[in-house]
Amino acid sequence: MEREPAVDRLESLVDSVASEPMPVPVREVWAFGDVALGLDPVDRLDVYLTKDVIMGGDSEAAAAFEAEYGVKGVGTTVDAAWADAHPDRVRTSDNGYAAPEKCLASELVDDEEPIHLEVCNAGFEDNVRQRLKGALARDAYEEVLDPRGVCLWVDGERDGEAFDRLREASLAMPTLPAALGMLGADEEAANEAADVLKQQRAEQEGASVRGDMV
């Protein structure tokens, strides 16, 4: 998508998180990848959501929803009121439990949109470091998360300046190998990780989502 519509889409996504009921509480919204780098057009819109867990849970709601729809975990892993209002948007993991990251994707993104969501219980910066540490230890470079991100919204506060700078493409970002090197990857590992991520992105089509726990 062209840069201006891409940033508009980011704003509408933040508006939704800020004002509409979500499957799980969202604490942070970050943009990373092409849109943070100032590219125009933007091949894919990469968005990171930090989610909170549902406190307390609702066992009665979970039992009722499972009895009607055959889905476990509503009321404990995703919000019962949201699920009751939007049963068509509830998505599950392979074990039949409501999957928070997939439910967020179904709420926020249309299937055909070139948007990738990363959803985790940890903040963007913490998860970047954790993912890189694990990837380097196992040579699993497909697990690396591009660290070149911009915080758009946190704990109910929107960063208007961040949106302005995205529109202007005025954020100075290093290359991906350089960014990974700043976080401790050696030159060979940083270059290999960058190549793997580039290939991985080239294979993505439409909307995609990845859930992570730290």
Q: Which of 91, 89, 92 is nearest to 107 (CA)?
A: 89
Token digits of residue 157:
């506060």
Q: What is the pTM of this model?
A: 0.94
Which residue is listed with tokens 């406190």? 55
169: exposed, middle or buried (C-beta count within 10 Å: 0-12, 13-18, 19+)? middle
Type of residue numbered 21:
P
* Domain residue spans of the chain: 3-128+149-171
**Size of the chain in residues:** 214
Contact (Cβ atoms closer than 8 angstroms) between residue 47 and residue 117:
yes
Distances (CA, A) of 26 to 13, 21, 40, 51, 147: 12, 10, 28, 4, 20
Q: Which of 124, 125, 74 is nearest to 103 (CA)?
A: 74
What pLDDT is attached to residue 55? 78
State how far the Cα of 199 lies from the Cα of 205, in Å rounded to an integer: 13
State how far the Cα of 168 lies from the Cα of 172, in Å rounded to an integer: 11
State how far the Cα of 200 lies from the Cα of 15, in Å rounded to an integer: 29
What pLDDT is attached to residue 213? 84
Q: Which of 170, 182, 147 is nearest to 30 (CA)?
A: 147
Spell out where 7-108 has E strands.
26-32, 45-51
What pLDDT is attached to residue 53? 84
State how far the Cα of 29 lies from the Cα of 17, in Å rounded to an integer: 9
Edge-to-edge strand ranges of the sheet holding 157-158:
157-158, 149-154, 26-32, 45-51, 115-120, 208-212
Each residue's pLDDT expressed in tens, for the chain with a length of 214 residues: 999 999 999 999 999 999 999 999 999 999 999 999 999 999 999 999 999 988 777 888 889 999 999 999 999 899 999 999 999 999 999 999 999 999 999 999 999 999 999 999 999 999 999 999 999 999 999 999 999 999 999 999 999 999 999 999 999 999 999 999 999 999 999 999 999 999 998 888 899 999 998 7
